[in-house]
């Protein structure tokens, strides 16, 4: 059974940066598209960035130009570099498989203060 563990969240001032990590165990994800999702209070979970097995990336308009998704298949790890953070980015961030997203972890809290 695959498990995904997110880490790297925290409290940061607006304009700052964070680097989130998602470590996968129990399975190799090198051939699967992965995504970062977030859920803010009172809102639905949304996909903010994804990366395919071929390395193609897509971003939600709200984070485009500020966030960068990457993966290290040798380490079975997914990353999200978050720059120029805004208070609107405050949410719990999750990683998951894009097409069969049934491996939700606990997520990691990102809080951006103004």
pLDDT digits (tens, 9 = 90+) for 47-71: 999 999 999 999 999 999 999 999 9
SS3 at position 104 = coil
**pLDDT above 70: percentage of residues in the chain:** 98
CB crowding 82-103: b at 16 or more within 10 Å, else e: beebeeebbbbbbbbbeeeeeb
CA distances for 114 relative to 16, 37, 90, angstroms: 10, 22, 11
Which residues partner with 20 through β-bridges? 80
| pLDDT band at residue 108 using 50, 70 and 90 as cut-offs | very high
Mean pLDDT within 32-36: 95
5-22 pLDDT, tens per residue? 999 999 999 999 999 999
Output the pLDDT for position 21.
98
Q: How high is the mean pLDDT of the chain? A: 95
Whether pLDDT at 2 is above 90:
no
Count CB-CB contacts under 10 A for residue 15.
Answer: 11
């Amino acid at each position: 059974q695959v498990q995904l563990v997110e880490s790297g969240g925290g409290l940061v001032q607006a304009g700052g940066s964070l680097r989130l990590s998602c470590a996968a165990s129990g399975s190799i994800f090198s051939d699967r598209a992965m995504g970062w999702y977030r859920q803010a209070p009172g809102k639905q979970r949304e996909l903010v960035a994804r990366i395919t097995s071929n390395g193609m990336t897509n971003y939600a308009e709200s984070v485009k130009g500020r966030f960068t998704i990457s993966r290290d298949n040798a380490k079975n790890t997914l990353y999200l570099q978050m720059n120029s953070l805004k208070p609107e980015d405050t949410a719990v961030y999750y990683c998951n498989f894009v097409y069969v997203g049934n491996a939700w972890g606990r997520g990691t809290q990102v809080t951006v203060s103004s």
